[in-house]
A = this chain, B = another copy of it.
Amino acid sequence: MSDIDVVLRRLDETSDACLERLFAFLRIPSISAQPAHAMDCQAAAEWLSADLTSMGFATEICPTGGHPVVLARRDGPAGAPHVLFYGHYDVQPVDPLALWDSPPFEPILKKRPDGSEEIVARGAADDKGQVMTFVEACRALIDVTGGLPVGVTFVIEGEEESGGEHLPGFLASRKDDLKADIALICDTGMPGPGRPAITAMLRGLCGEEVTIHASSCDLHSGMFGNAARNPIEVLCHALASLRDRDTGRITLPGFYDGVPDLPDTLRAQWKEIGLDDAAILGPFGLSEPGGEKGYTALEQIWARPTCEINGITGGYAGDGFKTVLPAKASAKVSFRLVGTQDPEKIRAEFRARIQAFLPSDCRAEFVAHGGSCASVVPDTLPALQLALGALKDEWGVEAVVTGCGGSIPVVGDMQTILGLQSLLIGFGLDDDRIHSPNEKYDLSSFKKGARSWVRVLQVLGHVTSEGLTETGKKA
């Protein structure tokens, strides 16, 4: 029996103890957004720190302006790569409490009609259960082999569910202590049960707020309508120009510069994972993808850029009717970016477009709301290929490279502050009810998640630091 088989058997044999540790972690109501739970956040950090210390990690509870970060480090063999593992110990609030079938901080195992089991508690999937898959993998490796195949640094924060404002400062201030070859993040999911995945494409963001100013005060639309410019109308004309209704394409000049074609292999893989238009749109009463023609909903979300109007306001929106011709109207617009699209170039084109629609006596005011490039793990990154292989070994099916329509700020922070590529490997499922009552994590996600990490760490230990991250040559 190879080392790895022994480690995996160890995990299986100690699964009750693994579960008991997770339950202990879940019993701590570490709701970061609610000041009344500040001591619980501290307690969760201390619990985790104590557990990692018991495993031989050099552990530190690092104060921030908010809830502390648990930092823990254990070196691997000389010459082996070093990974930085990110997760969070804080959880979402539990309201409305009445909708929970069991108390949110009294974790239970619940058997489903098909005999499979789920762990029900706040934080079961987001993110304590996922964090503990990695912790248990490390524990089994250390217990069986006396050490880890790679060096591991844990960064487990306590503010992910409440803005995470102190993490970037923490990462910057401890940059030297956080040197690693790659980041592993366990806070995402799988496209379906039994189908492992690595999220390697996250869209970037360019947020803009625009206010169109026309008359110096609100006017009566009967007395002035037609002659006095209507800023809502100007805004609608300008915003409507952003997307071509026939093709669904965004019309800003150069918008698609840096947008890569979707590789046929990925397109084929995505077609077979069961996330067709009906599966994605159906639950929300929709049937027809709203973006570019010729792409499925999944492709539009994971691999294509978009422009969305997130809010619009102007004039009277209360009950009844008011014949007002408002002095101003405004909108919040966000662009989601892929590939190497440049948020600042797109911001400039957006502003130019609005200006082009302005009558001479109107003016536009802009506020920038963030800009970040897309995060794309290159297909040729050896660590990605190694991890995909390890996941396939555990789950028995090809692991999928997926995209994510949204941005995950920590991925950008890892890149810009620490210079690290991130592999997002998680075992959550769409029906985990994260942020909702009766949050759950499949027991199989927990068990096979831990086994997956054993395999991933093991294969990463087979190469050197350089071998892990040098793109251009496959591992």
A interface with B by C-beta (< 8 Å):
203, 205, 207, 209, 214-217, 219-230, 232-233, 235-237, 239-241, 243, 245, 277, 280-281, 284-292, 297-298, 300-301, 304-306, 308-317, 320-326, 329-332, 334, 336, 359-361, 369-370, 404-407
Contact = CB atoms under 8 A, between A and B. Distances in A.
Contact of A405 (B225, B245, B322, B326): B225
A224 B325 contact: no
A230 B312 CA distance: 12
A45 B361 CA distance: 47
B301 A227 contact: yes
Given A306-B226, A322-B310, A317 B336 contact: no
10 contacts: A209-B321, A214-B286, A221-B310, A223-B405, A226-B290, A227-B300, A227-B301, A233-B240, A233-B309, A237-B245
A232 B220 CA distance: 25
Contacts of A292: 226
Contacts of A405: 220, 222-227
Nearest to A292: B226
B336 A225 contact: yes
B360 A309 contact: no
Contacts of A235: 236
A304 B226 CA distance: 8
Contact of A216 (B285, B297, B324, B361): B285
Looking at chain A's contact residues, is the secondary structure mostly helix, strand, loop, or mixed? Answer: mixed
A277 B227 CA distance: 9
B300 A310 contact: no
Contact of A236 (B312, B321, B330, B370): B312
B237 A240 contact: yes
A172 to B, nearest CB: 23
B226 A300 contact: yes
A284 B228 contact: yes
Contact of A311 (B216, B291, B315): B315
Contacts of A325: 308, 310
Nearest to A283: B216
Given A310-B323, A369-B321, A289 B334 contact: no
B313 A220 contact: no
Contacts of A239: 232-233, 236, 240
A302 to B, nearest CB: 9
Contacts of A326: 310-311
Contact of A226 (B241, B315, B323, B336): B336
Given A323-B406, A325-B308, A406-B223, A228 B290 contact: yes
A232 B297 contact: no
Contacts of A240: 233, 236-237, 239-241
Contact of A369 (B217, B300, B320): B320
A301 B332 contact: no
A312 B314 contact: yes
What 4 A-B pairs have minimum CB-CB distances, sorted nearest first? Answer: A222-B406, A226-B291, A311-B315, A226-B306
Given A226-B290, A321-B334, 14 more contacts: A205-B323, A216-B284, A219-B284, A222-B404, A227-B277, A227-B289, A233-B239, A233-B240, A236-B309, A308-B323, A309-B314, A311-B315, A312-B312, A321-B332
B287 A228 contact: no
A199 B209 CA distance: 43
A6 B454 CA distance: 113
A324 B239 CA distance: 17
Contacts of A215: 284-286
Nearest to A203: B222
Nearest to A329: B312
